[in-house]
Structures are given as structure tokens and as C-alpha cells.
């Protein structure tokens, strides 16, 4: 008789996202991944199919969580402060030096894997849509300039955030990167 799986799938997936975010895909052996997730290697394969399938799901979960956080920030009364807070978090904490899972994955895989590239692009598109929503909300409430194209501004933010994450990962300080944040904010404020 097969043993039933006794773990919280969402919690285990959160650990998988964290492990891929810290190690990348290639540098993370399946046995280490299983240990990071708190499951046996056989449970990893029985439940998630393969390391690759798990990685693809982790990319989606990561991107959806980032997009949701931005959407939630769009509901705050002071959108400029919320946006500045998002940007400052990147340079202050930089998620423990991990950078951005989407950027890291883009660098690790490059153009060699069309499915991974598609998922990364889809993740960036979700985040872009959330930033567009934030800008439109701010334009309607008079907090952001109305003459800014939300789609272009959102893509500019994504490019700026990717750059901030890379620079913070390389050791640039909050003091050194604050002027970059100021410039990103000036575009729309």
C-alpha cells in the first residue's frame, strides 16, 4: 500500500521557489531541492513529476506573487509612496542578495530553452500589467502624470527594477542607487 503524501503543497512550493531563486536551476541537484522543500526525493518526483516541471511551476508562482503585490499596492491611497517603497525594498533588502528569479532565469537559460523563455516573458508581462494598473490608478487619482503611456512606463519600471536588482546584487548600496529610484519616480510623478 502506497503511503499518502502528508505535506502542505503550497508551503512546499514556496520552499521550492525559494530554492530555485537562491541556487538557480542547473546548480540545484534534485536531492538538495528535495531537502530544501522538506520532502523525500521520491515525493518530489511522485508529486511534481520532475525537477523541470517543478521549476516551471516555481517561475509562475514567483511572477504571480510579484504581480499580486504590485496590484495590492495599487489599492493604497498614496501610490507614489507605495511605488517608492517597492523600489526601495529592492535596493535595501534585495531579497537576501538573490536578485530576481525572472532575471536570474533569463541569464541562466538565455535563448536555449523556448519554454522557459516563454514563461519568463509571461511573468514579466504579468508584472508589467500590474504596474500599468498602478499607473492608471494613479493617473485617475491625480497622483501620476496623465501624459505618460502606462505600457511604456511599466516596461521602463521593469527594466529599471531589473537593473536595480543586478546592481544591488553586485553590492551597490541604497545610497548609491537612491538617485536611480528618484529618476524612475520622476518619469511619472
Work out whether the CA dihedral 55, 110, 150, 182 comes out positive or negative.
Answer: positive
Other C-beta atoms closer than 10 Å to the C-beta of 129 total 16
What confidence category does residue 1 fall into, taking pLDDT thresholds of 50, 70 and 90?
very low
Q: Do the beta carbons of residue 184 and residue 178 sit within 8 Å?
A: no
Closest CA relative to residue 140, chosen from 75, 82, 187? 75
77, pLDDT greater than 90: no
Please give the residue that has the higher pLDDT: either 173 or 25: 25
Q: What's the whole-model pTM score?
A: 0.90
Question: What is the average per-residue pLDDT within 36-62?
Answer: 95
What confidence category does residue 5 fall into, taking pLDDT thresholds of 50, 70 and 90?
low
Domains identified in the chain and CATH numbers:
60-188 (1.10.357.10)
Amino acid at each position: 500500500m502506497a503511503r499518502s503524501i502528508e505535506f502542505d503543497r503550497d508551503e512546499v512550493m514556496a520552499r521550492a521557489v525559494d530554492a530555485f531563486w537562491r541556487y538557480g536551476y542547473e546548480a540545484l541537484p534534485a536531492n538538495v531541492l528535495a531537502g530544501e522543500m522538506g520532502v523525500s526525493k521520491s515525493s518530489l518526483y511522485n508529486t511534481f513529476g520532475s525537477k523541470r516541471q517543478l521549476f516551471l511551476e516555481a517561475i509562475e508562482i514567483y511572477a504571480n506573487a510579484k504581480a499580486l503585490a504590485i496590484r495590492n499596492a495599487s489599492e493604497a491611497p498614496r501610490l507614489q509612496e507605495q511605488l517608492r517603497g517597492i523600489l526601495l525594498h529592492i535596493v535595501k533588502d534585495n531579497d537576501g542578495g538573490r536578485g530576481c528569479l525572472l532575471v536570474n532565469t533569463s541569464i541562466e537559460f538565455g535563448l536555449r530553452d523556448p519554454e522557459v523563455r516563454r514563461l519568463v516573458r509571461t511573468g514579466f508581462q504579468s508584472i508589467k500589467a500590474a504596474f500599468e494598473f498602478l499607473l492608471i490608478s494613479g493617473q485617475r487619482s491625480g497622483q501620476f502624470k496623465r501624459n505618460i503611456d502606462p505600457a511604456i512606463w511599466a516596461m521602463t519600471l521593469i527594466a529599471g527594477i531589473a537593473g536595480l536588482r543586478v546592481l544591488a546584487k553586485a553590492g551597490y548600496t541604497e545610497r548609491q542607487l537612491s538617485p536611480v529610484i528618484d529618476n524612475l519616480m520622476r518619469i511619472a510623478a
